């Protein structure tokens, strides 16, 4: 049984890393669900254990944050941000800074993947109107979304998993990793300006955008709910409960439910499948065997642990990497430092290549659909140095504060 389980898990993780199955129209969500079903079918994990393996706190938190993002999109919040960005920007370097800051801050608050989905068309449109090369700004958007999301427990899916597993308070997490995100955003700007120097020598032409269309009542209501949510998070209120209450308030609406529930169901299904798969690894003892030989190496310090996390995150993606390592963190000499290092390294490693995270892939695919091209090599020029610089600072920072 352990051998069959190991074969299924290896095949599933390989397919997740590639993102598809040759000759089949499967995505990461259907791959994870099919793998979970196969493990239940062979008895690697029983039905009751599979349900127990589902981390409903993380799934509910992710769904609640998606509801908030949908309301912001319907209210025209992201169009408003794009319009204000162009009004303020008086040069290409300032425009890049505004794109990076907007992406980083919004990703820290609202979840990075939807921010990339909403902001990419805006960035493509802005650069097209201004006659600019969209690539540096798209790289800035994608990299900043990952870097900014490092700061909070609600910034990205892997941080949500870590928050539920570790019990680290929202404000404590922000205090430790907020500085990493701030320095990381500055590093993104510096690297992109150095890597694409020709783009930042030309001045911006004067362009007037039509005023953004916003649904003011919904925008005010949503921003008020978001303000209350942030205050609750910062004062130590239960994160999942508070987010669900905020989402429930926004669901009481005159808008059609089909619009309000336009969530990323693929991501939620992907999480459910992965929870069952990692549960099977635990019940069969495979995860214990997997890490037995590397236990001393993983626990030797933040640097080596972060390198392992970064490599693993680029091999199988950051969420599966976090779920694989999650059961081991409690046995580390300083679990809190290790949880924070796991969050930091798994997120920042996503900037290494275009395939490193969902956020970077979303930017590339949405840009392509809008007539702009961000290819693998063009991204790699900035992605590699951004990852090295931000990870290096993150490791130094966590070693120093602990």
Listing DSSP states for 227-274 in one string gives HHHHHHHHTT--HHHHHHHHHHHHHSSSS-HHHHT---HHHHHHHHHH
What's the longest Cα–Cα distance across the chain? 67
**Confidence at residue 391, expressed as pLDDT on a 0 to 100 scale:** 97
**Confidence at residue 143, expressed as pLDDT on a 0 to 100 scale:** 97
**Confidence at residue 206, expressed as pLDDT on a 0 to 100 scale:** 66
**Confidence at residue 276, expressed as pLDDT on a 0 to 100 scale:** 92
Is residue 44 within 8 Å of 284, Cβ to Cβ? yes
Compute the distance between CA of residue 308 and CA of residue 110 in angstroms, rounded to an integer. 28
**Confidence at residue 209, expressed as pLDDT on a 0 to 100 scale:** 64
Is residue 13 within 8 Å of 6, Cβ to Cβ? no
Per-residue pLDDT of the chain (402 residues; tens, 9 = 90+): 678 888 998 898 888 877 777 778 888 889 999 999 999 999 999 999 999 889 898 899 989 988 998 899 899 888 788 777 767 877 889 999 999 999 999 999 988 988 898 889 889 988 888 888 999 999 999 999 999 999 999 999 999 999 999 999 999 999 999 999 999 999 999 999 999 998 887 776 666 666 777 888 999 999 999 999 999 999 989 999 999 999 999 998 877 777 777 888 888 898 899 889 988 888 887 777 766 666 666 677 899 999 999 988 887 778 888 988 998 898 888 999 999 999 999 999 999 988 788 888 889 888 988 889 888 888 999 999 999 999 999 999 999 998
**Confidence at residue 263, expressed as pLDDT on a 0 to 100 scale:** 83
**Confidence at residue 1, expressed as pLDDT on a 0 to 100 scale:** 66
Tokens 């490791």 sit on residue: 395
**Confidence at residue 111, expressed as pLDDT on a 0 to 100 scale:** 86
Is residue 191 within 8 Å of 168, Cβ to Cβ? no
Q: What residues have CB less than 8 Å from 238, skipping those under 6 apart?
A: none
If we measure between CA atoms, which residue out of 121, 157, 125, 109 comes closest to residue 269? Answer: 157
């Amino acid at each position: 049984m352990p051998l069959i389980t190991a074969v299924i898990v290896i095949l599933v993780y390989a397919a997740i890393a590639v993102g598809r199955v040759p000759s089949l129209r499967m995505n990461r969500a259907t791959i994870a669900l099919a793998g979970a079903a196969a493990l239940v079918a062979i008895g690697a994990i029983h039905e009751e254990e599979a349900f127990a393996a589902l981390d409903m706190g993380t799934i509910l938190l992710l769904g609640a944050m998606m509801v908030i993002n949908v309301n912001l999109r319907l209210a025209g919040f992201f169009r408003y941000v794009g319009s204000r960005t162009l009004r303020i920007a008086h040069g290409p370097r300032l425009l890049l800074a505004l794109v990076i800051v907007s992406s980083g801050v919004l990703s820290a608050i609202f979840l990075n993947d939807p921010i990339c989905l909403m902001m990419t068309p805006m960035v493509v449109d802005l650069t097209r109107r201004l006659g600019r090369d969209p690539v540096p700004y798209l790289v800035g958007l994608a990299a900043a979304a990952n870097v900014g999301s490092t700061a909070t427990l609600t910034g990205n899916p892997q941080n949500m998993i870590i928050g539920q597993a570790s019990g680290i308070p929202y404000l404590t997490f922000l205090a430790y990793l907020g500085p990493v995100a701030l320095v990381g955003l500055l590093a993104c700007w510096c690297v992109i300006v150095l890597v694409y120097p020709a783009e930042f020598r030309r001045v911006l032409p004067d362009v007037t955008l039509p005023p953004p269309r916003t649904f003011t009542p919904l925008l005010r209501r949503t921003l008020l709910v978001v303000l209350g949510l942030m205050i609750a998070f910062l004062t130590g209120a239960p994160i999942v409960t508070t987010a669900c209450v905020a989402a429930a308030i926004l669901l009481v609406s005159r808008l059609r439910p089909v619009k309000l529930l336009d969530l990323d169901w693929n991501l939620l299904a992907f999480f459910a499948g992965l929870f069952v798969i990692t549960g099977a690894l635990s019940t069969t003892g495979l995860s214990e065997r997997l890490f037995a030989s590397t236990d001393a190496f993983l626990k030797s310090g933040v640097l080596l642990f972060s390198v392992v996390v970064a490599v693993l995150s680029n091999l199988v993606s950051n969420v599966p990497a976090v779920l694989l390592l999650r059961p081991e963190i409690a046995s580390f000499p300083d679990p809190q430092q290790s949880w924070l290092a796991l969050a930091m390294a798994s997120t920042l490693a996503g900037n290494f290549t275009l395939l490193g995270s969902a956020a970077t892939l979303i930017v590339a695919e949405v840009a392509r659909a809008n007539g702009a091209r961000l290819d693998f090599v063009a991204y790699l020029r900035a992605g590699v140095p951004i990852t090295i610089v931000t990870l290096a600072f993150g490791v130094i920072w966590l070693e120093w504060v602990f």
